[in-house]
């Protein structure tokens, strides 16, 4: 027998630490590259084809189609992923060791352990979506992918925070992290274009971004090649008779370890985090009440059709001038938790049935909340950490307000116009507000022991006040709902720009980016950044579609980056006069914001008619004044030097909060993604049920939100197409809401929002069960009165094109406007060769000899749905090229002051769908006899729902005729 010499302690092999990330990168990249090459070579036409289109519309394969559908590329990918799993798990462990070595002697290793656990879960989830394809089990595949993407967020953030401070590796990591997360938003957008709108070619663009995720993901981990240069594996002979004893010398030291980062991560304390969250929630309450106030004021002039007197409540905010009284300001600051508690009267006011009293309660809540926040921020002005914490919690409250509204389809569940019957969560919001206020009352004030730094500043209080007032107006008018930017850039189909999902997510991410950049004071308050932000705003205002939205995103990042600079500049000034001028500036701009659209109903309205550009220019000039003023005392922030300061802790809490808010927004968007394509109610009869309804801005007669009741009425009437008038809610006075989001998603309908807020109309919206092939938004001639809007859309109805107009004409007082508007509508209808449905608001008596009525019916070559119905004034239905089945008038049910008119039509193969242009109008009219038949002769699928007979349902009933009309 040969005896092996005992070579105890002999190093048998040395393996560089870089071999682990190198092997992981090679095996991982090979899995996808080889699958791509083999797939394109063997099954190209199959892997580019999808449920919407194939080659040549789709010409680039997605990752899932390449790696999951066909032999042998699927198996090749799985083999190399298996080979990569070993290096992957070793990579997770090595990073854990690296992170632990960077922890100070008395520090905690908890974050390193969390990161290691997260990375192992992420690795297992990767195996889940690779080895269980969507064809095997779609749900498990999707769940594994979602878990993988969610774990990627802490993986990327944690890796960058615990990495050695090597500028080269950190630069690469930031680049690949930005490219990874930046690709998610357009990827979701093109997925919706493919899966919801079913646009050929959209999946190819989706595939490009999907592949970019793979590249960025692998490249991010490949950067470990730089960090592991100081690592080495050693295979050591520990001896034949047992383990090696003693501690081998370890001369290797972690490259560039940073104690400051670990110390900052370790500074997160549960009680401080709860305190921070309480302040953020109270900031959310402030923005909720501030946005509710003009919305509730709007109820009164809406019913008065002019100035009502209740507009004076807008000026309740000038009560902030009371902060000039030292005893009052100091008393509020010492008892701010109690005053926050009192301000919740605005939240609990939803229980008050009388609209005027409810408005008064909200005004009181706004005043108390504004006084509290003003006193708090002014009291913190000499402590940089506390002051930064204060403005950041207020800014995070604004972003939380956006996320919550996104989850409630652009409504805030604690607004006083909401209640338990309209989707509100007022009691939960009130309870959280009470808990947050009590927490403020009982806690030790965070950062109270921070040394005060009293500096003389060269700032002007007047410039600070003007800039801050304009900034609050900017935030309120444009950033209190995540869909405002997308609605400003809205165009007709197909170039609508991003829809609320995922457009709202893009805006929230941009807001988070802006607030993150706000620590770069000198940079974000520079003149060049003001120019960039102004250019983005100009693009948003003047350009429709995706380009306009991109300009809005640039403006969003810039605007949110100003939050700490402008708010802190204001709070360094004498509080009484500064807050007074700031609120007056805000109020003047808010009124101008209303005057641009309500010019026909307010004194001096002609001056501001359709002049949103004037308002935006004034806003930007005032912001520039505030920015230049704040620069007189700007101070640089170096996070490494302040790693233990209250300032850096506040920034850390803010970053963690932003990550949570963005994650919440992603979850909301995923939940809101449509699951199935809309389908008409009675395709077996080729039936089109179309209606028109003026819905008074989705505020019912008792000043509560009416969207749920509207949903119920549209659903029960089985409407396939409906025009909704007075529907543009993306203004301060309407709460920056968007009723099309809830109605279209809950009813599973396509939506055309109509002309956006920059078009200065009251709005018209179309919902359709049929796909919208194209649409044009019209501003009808309005030389004197309010601007009239119209949507001209072409729908794909049972495989044929049908045109629909939804319009809202001017008022009775402006005859010339109505003549020109109706003439233009007639031209649009007359020039179309498709079957046509008119759903509009015209303002005229019906019948022969009525000028406006004949301009519409004769000029458009359409048939009135019922010529004997003399009791009409504003809403009308008309048609051409379809077979009319029935007509009904349904009461408004207290939702508005206007009824619902509904027509039923069939698109039949044996019915003429076009018209002879040489035909006289008299011959054209004789085609319809208006002969009626009893309901029992009508097939059941063509009848109106019987629930609307008699007393009806929810106060909706057949009225005027007390029954529907049916036709031969």
Q: Which of 348, 332, 817 is nearest to 575 (CA)?
A: 332
Asked if residue 622 lies in contact with residue 470, where contact means CB atoms within 8 angstroms, the answer is: yes
CA 235 to CA 443: how far, in whole Å? 56
CA 849 to CA 902: how far, in whole Å? 25
Asked if residue 368 lies in contact with residue 342, where contact means CB atoms within 8 angstroms, the answer is: yes
Query: What is the maximum alpha-carbon separation in the chain?
Result: 122
Q: Which of 309, 388, 376 is nearest to 336 (CA)?
A: 376
Q: State the distance between the two ends of the chain, measured CA to CA, in whole angstroms.
A: 109
Asked if residue 280 lies in contact with residue 399, where contact means CB atoms within 8 angstroms, the answer is: no
CA 897 to CA 733: how far, in whole Å? 20
Asked if residue 755 lies in contact with residue 730, where contact means CB atoms within 8 angstroms, the answer is: no
**Sole residue written with tokens 């709902």:** 481
Asked whether the bond before 502 is cis by omega within 30 degrees of 0, the reply is yes
CA 255 to CA 230: how far, in whole Å? 7
CA 205 to CA 516: how far, in whole Å? 30
Rg (the chain; Cα; Å): 32
- Ranges of H-type helices in 575-718: 575-595, 605-608, 612-630, 646-672, 707-716
* HEC string for 681-698: CCHHHCEEEEEEEECHHH
CA 5 to CA 372: how far, in whole Å? 81
Q: Is 194 a catalytic residue?
A: no
* SS3 state of residue 800: strand
User: Which tokens belong to 401?
Assistant: 């307000």
Q: Calculate the CA dihedral of residues 489, 493, 497, 502 and round it to 10 degrees.
A: 130
CA distances from 863 to 164, 790, 793, 829 (A): 76, 19, 19, 12
CA 689 to CA 768: how far, in whole Å? 10
User: Which tokens belong to 321?
Assistant: 């001038």
Asked if residue 150 lies in contact with residue 663, where contact means CB atoms within 8 angstroms, the answer is: yes
Q: Which of 837, 833, 860 is nearest to 916 (CA)?
A: 833
Q: For the purposes of burial, counting CB atoms within 10 Å of the CB of 940, is it exposed (0-12), middle (13-18) or buried (19 or more)?
A: exposed
The one-character DSSP state at 451 is: P
Given 155, 197, 808, 892, which residue is catalytic? Answer: 808
Q: Which of 467, 426, 473 is nearest to 314 (CA)?
A: 473
CA 340 to CA 334: how far, in whole Å? 12
**Sole residue written with tokens 């457009």:** 503
CA 694 to CA 709: how far, in whole Å? 14
Asked if residue 615 lies in contact with residue 592, where contact means CB atoms within 8 angstroms, the answer is: yes
User: Which tokens belong to 463?
Assistant: 């410039």
Q: In what order do the strands lie in the sheet with 863-864?
A: 772-780, 788-797, 800-808, 836-841, 875-880, 863-864
CA 124 to CA 85: how far, in whole Å? 9
Query: Chain centroid to CA 437: how far?
Result: 29
Q: Which residues are catalytic?
A: 808
């Amino acid at each position: 027998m040969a005896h092996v010499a005992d070579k105890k302690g002999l190093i048998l092999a040395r393996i560089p630490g870089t071999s682990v990330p190198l092997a992981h990168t090679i095996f991982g990249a090979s899995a996808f590259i080889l699958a791509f090459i083999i797939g394109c070579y063997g099954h190209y036409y199959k892997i580019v084809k999808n449920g919407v289109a194939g080659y040549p519309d789709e010409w680039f394969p997605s990752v899932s189609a390449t790696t999951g559908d066909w032999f042998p590329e699927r198996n090749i990918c799985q083999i190399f992923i298996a080979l990569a799993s070993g290096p992957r798990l070793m990579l997770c462990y090595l990073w854990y060791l690296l992170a632990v070595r960077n922890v100070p002697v008395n520090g905690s290793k908890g974050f390193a352990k969390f990161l290691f656990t997260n990375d192992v879960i992420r690795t297992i989830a990767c195996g889940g979506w690779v080895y269980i394809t969507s064809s095997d089990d779609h749900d498990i595949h999707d769940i594994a992918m979602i878990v993988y993407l969610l774990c990627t967020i802490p993986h990327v953030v944690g890796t960058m925070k615990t990495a050695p401070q090597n500028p080269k590796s950190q630069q690469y990591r930031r680049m690949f992290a930005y490219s990874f997360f930046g690709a998610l938003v357009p990827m979701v957008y093109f997925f919706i274009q493919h899966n919801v709108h079913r646009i050929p070619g959209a999946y190819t663009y989706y595939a490009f971004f999907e592949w970019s995720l793979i590249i960025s993901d692998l490249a991010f981990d490949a950067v470990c090649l730089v960090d592991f240069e100081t690592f080495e594996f050693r295979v050591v002979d520990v001896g034949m008779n047992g383990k090696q004893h003693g501690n081998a010398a370890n001369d290797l030291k972690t490259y560039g370890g940073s104690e400051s980062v670990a110390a900052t991560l370790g500074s997160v304390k549960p009680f401080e985090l709860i305190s921070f969250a309480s302040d953020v929630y109270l900031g959310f309450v402030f923005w909720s009440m501030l946005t509710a106030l003009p919305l509730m004021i709007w109820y009164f002039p809406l019913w008065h059709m002019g100035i009502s007197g209740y507009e004076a409540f807008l000026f309740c905010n000038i009560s902030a001038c009371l902060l000039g009284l030292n005893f009052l300001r100091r008393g509020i600051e010492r008892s701010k938790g109690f005053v926050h508690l009192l301000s919740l009267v605005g939240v609990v006011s939803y229980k008050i049935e009388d609209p005027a009293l409810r408005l008064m309660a909200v005004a009181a809540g706004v005043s108390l909340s504004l006084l509290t926040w003003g006193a708090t921020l002014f009291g913190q002005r000499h402590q940089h950490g506390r002051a930064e914490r204060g403005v950041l919690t207020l800014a995070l409250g604004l972003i939380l307000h956006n996320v919550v509204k996104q989850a409630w389809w652009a409504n805030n569940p604690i607004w006083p116009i909401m209640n338990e019957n309209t989707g509100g969560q007022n009691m939960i919001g009130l309870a959280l507000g009470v808990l947050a206020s009590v927490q403020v009352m009982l806690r030790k004030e965070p950062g109270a022991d921070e040394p005060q730094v009293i500096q003389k500043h060269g700032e002007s209080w007047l410039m600070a006040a003007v800039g801050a007032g304009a900034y609050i107006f900017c935030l309120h008018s444009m950033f209190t709902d995540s869909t405002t930017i997308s609605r400003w850039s809205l165009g007709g189909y197909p170039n609508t720009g991003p829809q609320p999902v995922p457009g709202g997510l893009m805006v929230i991410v941009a807001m988070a980016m802006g607030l993150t950049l706000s620590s770069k004071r000198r940079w974000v308050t520079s003149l060049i950044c003001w120019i960039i932000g102004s250019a983005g705003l100009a693009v948003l205002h003047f350009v429709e579609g995706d380009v306009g939205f991109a300009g809005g995103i640039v403006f969003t990042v810039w605007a949110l980056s100003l939050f700490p600079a402008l708010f802190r500049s204001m709070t360094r000034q004498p509080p009484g006069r500064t807050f007074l001028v700031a609120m007056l500036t805000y109020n003047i701009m808010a009124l101008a914001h209303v005057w641009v659209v309500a010019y026909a109903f307010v004194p001096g309205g002609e001056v501001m008619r359709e002049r949103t550009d004037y308002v935006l220019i004034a806003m930007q000039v005032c912001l520039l004044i505030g920015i230049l003023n704040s620069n007189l005392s700007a101070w640089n922030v170096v996070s490494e030097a302040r790693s233990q300061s209250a300032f850096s802790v506040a920034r850390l809490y803010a970053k963690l909060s932003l990550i949570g808010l963005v994650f919440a927004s992603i979850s909301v968007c995923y939940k809101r993604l449509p699951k199935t394509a809309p389908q008409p109610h009675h395709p077996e009869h080729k039936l089109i049920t179309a209606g028109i309804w003026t819905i008074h801005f989705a505020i019912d007669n008792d000043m509560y939100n009416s969207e749920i009741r509207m949903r119920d009425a549209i659903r029960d009437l089985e409407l396939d197409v409906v025009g909704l008038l007075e529907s543009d809610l993306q203004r301060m006075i309407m709460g920056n809401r968007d009723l099309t989001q809830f109605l279209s998603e809950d009813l599973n309908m396509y939506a055309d929002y109509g002309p956006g807020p920059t078009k200065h109309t009251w709005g018209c919206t179309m919902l359709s069960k049929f796909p919208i092939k194209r649409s044009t938004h019209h501003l009808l001639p309005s030389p004197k009165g309010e601007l009239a809007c119209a949507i001209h859309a072409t729908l794909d109805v049972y495989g044929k094109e049908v045109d629909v107009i939804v319009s809202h004409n001017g008022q009775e007082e402006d005859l010339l406007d109505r003549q020109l508007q109706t003439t233009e509508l007639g031209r649009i209808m007359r020039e179309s060769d498709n079957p046509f449905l008119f759903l509009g608001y015209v303002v005229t008596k019906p019948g022969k000899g009525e000028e406006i009525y004949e301009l519409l019916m004769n000029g458009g070559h359409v048939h009135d749905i019922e010529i004997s119905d003399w009791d009409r004034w504003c809403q009308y239905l008309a048609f051409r090229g379809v077979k009319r089945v029935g007509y009904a008038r349904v009461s408004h049910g207290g939702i508005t002051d206007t009824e619902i008119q509904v027509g039923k039509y069939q698109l039949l193969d044996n019915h003429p769908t076009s018209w002879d242009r040489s035909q006289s109008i008299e011959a054209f009219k004789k085609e319809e006899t208006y002969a009626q038949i009893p309901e029992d002769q009508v097939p059941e699928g063509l009848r109106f729902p019987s629930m609307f007979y008699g007393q009806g349902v929810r106060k909706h009933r057949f009225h005027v005729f007390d029954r529907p009309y049916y036709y031969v």
